[in-house]
């Protein structure tokens, strides 16, 4: 896969001067088209595994797995098995255990995420500083052969980050992420951020949401369904009897997972 990584780095050098999305006078930067991107079909089977040894025996068309923990060889194996591979990248927060953690300036790092002591929120307003760091990760994703990317923690404006983030700051950052992914010919998922779905749906290829049934937020995700794009939904605590029938009514592809996001899953039956 060295050749693939070299190609991705070359593409990165060509595109590095592409302007970052801006929001001026209340208008959003248009979406970047991605004619060569793979995009998930409306109702695929999928797996989300971010811990433990990758288990390729799960019957799933799409595997969403960690960027750093997953090797190029594992991506090749997934492709040989007929699967698509999506890389998980933490974009809106800093993780102290990542190999590139030291590259993040202390001024970018804010408060700890509740329940995740090894992670801290980032100042997403400073795209000029964060952009190259995230681009490095996207290039690694591309070089390993992934088909798409899932950016995590893209709803900092609704949390106690230590920064005075606004909804407009979050829109600007999320649009930056989506357009960057498409520039590198990667499909891109919108992770959570249900309150901004109406404005962000045109930029993203599918939605991945956690616990929308538990928190009664699921209707806000319907713009994806109406646009013919899938909604992948996870519940950690509700039994399937409490959400699977509702998920089918909405047209969501829902799973029950444990919070550690290992291989274990319980899939909702198809409608």
> Would you say residue 116 lies in a domain?
yes
Q: What are phi and psi of 217, to 5 degrees?
A: -120, 5
Q: What is the pLDDT of residues 97-118, one digit of tens each?
A: 999 999 999 999 999 999 999 9
- Provide the pLDDT for residue 271: 65
- Provide the pLDDT for residue 26: 60
Q: What is the pLDDT of residues 218-243, one digit of tens each?
A: 999 999 999 999 999 999 999 999 99
Task: Using pLDDT thresholds of 50, 70 and 90, give the confidence band for residue 28.
Answer: confident
- CATH code for the domain in which residue 238 is found: 3.20.20.70
84-90 vs 93-95, strand pairing mode: unpaired
> Would you say residue 29 lies in a domain?
no
> Would you say residue 68 lies in a domain?
yes
Task: Using pLDDT thresholds of 50, 70 and 90, give the confidence band for residue 15.
Answer: very low
Give alpha helix (H) positions in 121-243.
127-143, 167-183, 197-200, 222-226
> Would you say residue 254 lies in a domain?
yes
Q: What is the pLDDT of residues 245-264, one digit of tens each?
A: 999 999 999 999 999 999 99
Considering the chain, what percentage of its residues have pLDDT values greater than 70?
A: 90
> Would you say residue 39 lies in a domain?
no
Q: What is the pLDDT of residues 53-62, one digit of tens each?
A: 999 999 999 9
Task: Using pLDDT thresholds of 50, 70 and 90, give the confidence band for residue 12.
Answer: very low
Considering the chain, what percentage of its residues have pLDDT values greater than 90?
A: 89
Residue-number span of the structural domain to which 7 is assigned: 2-14+46-267
Query: 16 pLDDT exceeds 60?
Result: no
Q: What is the pTM of this model?
A: 0.91
> Would you say residue 221 lies in a domain?
yes
Task: Using pLDDT thresholds of 50, 70 and 90, give the confidence band for residue 8.
Answer: very low
**Whether 224 contacts 231, CB under 8 Å:** yes
The better pLDDT of the pair 144, 19 is held by 144
CA distances, 122 to each of 37, 91, 118 (Å): 28, 8, 13
Contacts of 99 (CB under 8 A, 6+ apart): 68
Mean pLDDT score of the chain: 92
- Provide the pLDDT for residue 196: 98
> Would you say residue 201 lies in a domain?
yes
Query: 31 pLDDT exceeds 80?
Result: yes
> Would you say residue 9 lies in a domain?
yes
Q: Please give the angle made by the CA atoms of 213, 216 and 218, to the nearest 5 degrees.
A: 65
Integer Cα distance of 139 and 62 in angstroms: 20
- Provide the pLDDT for residue 66: 98
Q: What is the pLDDT of residues 138-189, one digit of tens each?
A: 999 999 999 999 999 999 999 999 999 999 999 999 999 999 999 999 999 9
Structurally, the chain folds into a number of domains equal to 1
- Provide the pLDDT for residue 2: 32
């Amino acid at each position: 896969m060295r050749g693939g990584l070299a190609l991705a780095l070359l593409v990165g050098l060509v595109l590095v001067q592409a302007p970052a999305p801006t929001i001026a006078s209340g208008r959003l930067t248009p979406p970047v088209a991605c004619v060569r991107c793979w995009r998930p079909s409306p109702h695929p089977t999928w797996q989300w595994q971010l811990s433990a040894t990758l288990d390729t025996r799960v019957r799933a068309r799409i595997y969403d797995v960690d960027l750093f923990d997953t090797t190029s060889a594992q991506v090749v194996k997934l492709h040989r098995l007929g699967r698509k591979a999506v890389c998980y990248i933490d974009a809106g927060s800093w993780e102290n255990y990542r190999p590139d953690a030291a590259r993040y300036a202390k001024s970018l790092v804010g408060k700890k995420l509740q329940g995740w002591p090894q992670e801290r929120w980032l100042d997403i307003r400073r795209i000029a500083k964060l952009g190259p760091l995230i681009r490095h990760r996207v290039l690694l994703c591309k070089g390993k052969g992934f088909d798409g990317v899932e950016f995590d923690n893209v709803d900092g404006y609704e949390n106690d980050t230590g920064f005075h983030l606004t909804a407009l700051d979050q829109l600007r950052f999320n649009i930056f992420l989506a357009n960057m992914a498409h520039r590198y010919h990667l499909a891109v998922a919108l992770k959570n951020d249900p309150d901004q779905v109406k404005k962000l749906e045109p930029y993203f290829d599918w939605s991945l949401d956690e616990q929308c049934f538990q928190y009664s937020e699921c209707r806000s995700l319907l713009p994806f369904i109406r646009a013919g794009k899938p909604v992948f939904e996870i519940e950690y605590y509700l039994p399937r009897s409490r959400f699977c029938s509702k998920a089918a009514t909405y047209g969501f592809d829902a799973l029950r997972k444990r919070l550690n996001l290992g291989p274990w899953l319980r899939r909702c039956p198809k409608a």
